Amino acid sequence: MDGTFNENDLSRVVEADRAHIWHHLIQHKPFESTDPRIIVEGKGIHVWDQKGKEHLDCVSGGVWTVNVGYGRERIAKAVYNQLVKMNYFAGSAGSIPGAMFAERLIAKMPGLSRVYYMNSGSEANEKAFKMVRQIAHKRYGGKKHKILYRDRDYHGTTIGCLSAGGQDERNAQYGPFAPGFVRVPHCLEYRRHEQDGAPVENYGEWAADQIEEVILREGPETVGALCLEPVTAGGGVITPPEGYWQRVQEICKKYDILLHIDEVVCGVGRTGTWFGYQQYGIQPDMVTMAKGVASGYAAIACLVTTEEVFDMFKDDASDPMNYFRDISTFGGCTAGPAAALENLAIIEEENLLDNTNAMGARLMDNLAALADKHAVIGDVRGKGLFCGAELVKDRETREAVDEALVQKVVADCMGQGVIIGATNRSVPGKNNTLCFSPALIATADNIDQMTDAVDQALTRVFG
Ligand code: PMP
């Protein structure tokens, strides 16, 4: 390796990748004997790998990110124009695209009014946690500092976020964790039989009441915030049960607990509304978002708060310590908001929320038809273009299928040129939920191709 290679010589790229890249989310030993997959090009909902093979991307860039699809020249041009004019300035200064995007975003989020920029979902959540801690110090002598998070939810990769991480298998080996994070039970109705005392009727309210029990156990005066995903993503595409969110909101109000919604996956159209929480008629105090904000054309994440939260950090200007003592170096990159402005305009101009609802309904219908045919599908769940199919050995016991078989289904689809996801753990430690989250531009043909591929794969793997 001499470091000089023609980027068009893809065998050299593969060699360089194999020699030097530490890939995310993979055990490298078995990977050494196969070629790494290099994604070379993307257009619309399709991507091409180094062998020139075309794939229908049903996971929006792997992890629910490329909401408006690939190859959007208008986003690239807007970023280019912004970068040659003013690429970066950090600290207390603002920027033109930063201000303009904040105004456009806030117009979609009634009741919220302040946007804080950074560059990843984990960072956004960390900053929300820090705000909660600072409010606890300012207002409550440090007491109201605990942050509740939910079993199965994921909020990011840092030690702080893993401390609020509800997927034990992801956390194992990274402790010790930060104190002051307390877990509440999940709300996956399909698996209520695994929860002691869970009723058949009114499960949603019961699941929310479990949160109240934790608050009472911990002492409401010690609990500062509740952080939840609107629809749990990596934890198994968990759509909340009927009645859940209304009750959660009531509980937060009752005990003066800030409601922090993690929209890193659901945000910016994925579920068919601008934000996932808007499906459930609730009013959060803090919202974090990342992936779909600029569809991966630039790294940008936002923490959006109410004016009330913002005001708590400026109420005593004579105290030099009385402001949010935080910075994000790359929160000063203007590429992010410049890309985000175009991304948002595309969703509006192309009516992608309507498309998400129509195509999401089609996807759910197709998955329901697959469940009629394949007994291995125990449950299908979803909101908008964010759907999952949970695979079980037996519909009675609901025992998860072996992960190796799920991976065979994914590999079979890949062989058919269809990329689906299966990093979704409805059952601790088991990736047994297939995930479908194509770009919001998906057509009926794309949806049908996706589910046809799964149909064939399930037949080959499970008979
Ligand atoms: N929250 C949720 C719900 C996520 O799914 C993720 C990432 N998959 C994160 C936070 C962390 O985002 P990032 O990887 O950008 O740090």
DSSP string for 289-351:
E-GGGTTTSS--EEEEE-HHHHHTTTS-TTSTT-S-----GGGGBSHHHHHHHHHHHHHHHTT
**DSSP string for 76-143:** HHHHHHHHHH--B--SS---HHHHHHHHHHHTTSTT--EEEEES-HHHHHHHHHHHHHHHHHHHHTT-
At a CB cut-off of 8 Å and minimum separation 6, what does 317 contact?
none
Q: Distances in Å between the alpha carbon of 15 and those of 9, 39, 51, 263? A: 10, 15, 14, 37
**DSSP string for 441-461:** T--HHHHHHHHHHHHHHHHHH
234 lines ligand 1 (CB under 6 A): yes
What are the b/e assignments for 240-260, b being 16+ CB within 10 Å? bbebbbebbbebbeebebbbb
Outline where DSSP puts E strands in 383-432: 387-391, 418-419, 421-424
287 lines ligand 1 (CB under 6 A): no
CATH topology identical between 37-68+351-462 and 74-349: no
Q: How far is the CA of 154 from the centre of ligand 1 (A)?
A: 7
Q: Which atom of ligand 1 is nearest to the CA of 229?
A: 3
Residue range 37-68+351-462 in CATH 3.90.1150.10 = yes
264 lines ligand 1 (CB under 6 A): yes
74-349 CATH choice from 3.90.45.10, 3.40.640.10, 3.40.50.300, 1.10.260.40: 3.40.640.10
Q: How far is the CA of 268 from the centre of ligand 1 (A)?
A: 14
3-class state of residue 191 by DSSP: helix
Residue to mutate, 291, 302, 303, ligand 1, most ligand atoms under 8 Å from C-beta: 291
Q: How far is the CA of 368 from the centre of ligand 1 (A)?
A: 28
CA torsion 70-127-269-73 (nearest 10°) is -30
At 407, phi and psi to the nearest 5?
-65, -30
120 lines ligand 1 (CB under 6 A): yes
Mean per-residue pLDDT of the chain: 95
What are the b/e assignments for 43-80, b being 16+ CB within 10 Å? ebbbbbbbeeeebbbbbbbbbbbbbbbbebeebeebbe
Tell me the residue type at 147.
I
266 lines ligand 1 (CB under 6 A): no
- Confidence bin at 333 (pLDDT 50/70/90): very high
Contact 305, 261 (CB under 8 A): no
What pLDDT digit, counting tens, does each position of 210-241 carry?
A: 999 999 999 999 999 999 999 999 999 999 99
Residue with CA nearest ligand 1 atom 10: 155
- Adjacency order of strands within the sheet including 146-150: 114-118, 301-305, 286-289, 258-262, 223-228, 146-150, 181-184
Does the pLDDT of residue 321 top 80, yes or no?
Answer: no
Domain ranges of the chain: 37-68+351-462, 74-349
229 lines ligand 1 (CB under 6 A): yes
What pLDDT digit, counting tens, does each position of 241-291 carry?
A: 999 999 999 999 999 999 999 999 999 999 999 999 999 999 999 999 999
- Confidence bin at 1 (pLDDT 50/70/90): very low
Question: What was the pLDDT predicted at 27?
Answer: 86
Q: What is the distance between the alpha carbons of residues 30 and 162, in angstroms, rounded to a whole number?
A: 27
Q: Distances in Å between the alpha carbon of 30 and those of 11, 235, 328? A: 20, 25, 37
Question: What was the pLDDT predicted at 445?
Answer: 98
Tell me the residue type at 363.
L
- Adjacency order of strands within the sheet including 377-382: 377-382, 387-391, 433-436, 421-424
Does the pLDDT of residue 75 top 90, yes or no?
Answer: yes
363 lines ligand 1 (CB under 6 A): no
What pLDDT digit, counting tens, does each position of 174-196 carry?
A: 999 999 999 999 999 999 999 99
339 lines ligand 1 (CB under 6 A): no
DSSP 389: E
Residue to mutate, 122, 162, 288, ligand 1, most ligand atoms under 8 Å from C-beta: 122
- Confidence bin at 6 (pLDDT 50/70/90): low
Pairing, β 421-424 against β 433-436 = antiparallel
Q: What is the distance between the alpha carbons of residues 273 and 339, in angstroms, rounded to a whole number?
A: 20
What pLDDT digit, counting tens, does each position of 56-68 carry?
A: 999 999 999 999 9
ipTM: 0.99
* Average of per-residue pLDDT across 47-72: 96
Does the pLDDT of residue 320 top 80, yes or no?
Answer: no
Question: What was the pLDDT predicted at 459?
Answer: 98
Contact 165, 154 (CB under 8 A): yes
Does the pLDDT of residue 4 top 60, yes or no?
Answer: no
Q: Which atom of ligand 1 is nearest to the CA of 123?
A: 16
Q: Which atom of ligand 1 is nearest to the CA of 125?
A: 10
Residue with CA nearest ligand 1 atom 11: 156
Question: What was the pLDDT predicted at 101?
Answer: 98
Residue with CA nearest ligand 1 atom 7: 156
What pLDDT digit, counting tens, does each position of 15-26 carry?
A: 999 999 999 988
233 lines ligand 1 (CB under 6 A): yes
Q: How far is the CA of 125 from the centre of ligand 1 (A)?
A: 9
Comparing 231-245, 319-333, 397-411, which segment has the lowest mean pLDDT?
319-333
154 lines ligand 1 (CB under 6 A): yes
- Adjacency order of strands within the sheet including 54-57: 39-43, 46-49, 54-57, 418-419
What pLDDT digit, counting tens, does each position of 350-388 carry?
A: 999 999 999 999 999 999 999 999 999 999 999 999 999
* Average of per-residue pLDDT across 113-140: 97
| Cα dihedral sign, 272-118-137-216 | positive
55 lines ligand 1 (CB under 6 A): no
290 lines ligand 1 (CB under 6 A): yes
Q: What is the distance between the alpha carbons of residues 276 and 270, in angstroms, rounded to a whole number?
A: 8
Residue to mutate, 66, 129, 153, 264, ligand 1, most ligand atoms under 8 Å from C-beta: 264
155 lines ligand 1 (CB under 6 A): yes
| Cα dihedral sign, 380-381-383-386 | negative
Question: What was the pLDDT predicted at 3?
Answer: 43
Question: What was the pLDDT predicted at 144?
Answer: 98
Q: Which atom of ligand 1 is nearest to the CA of 120?
A: 15
Residue with CA nearest ligand 1 atom 1: 155
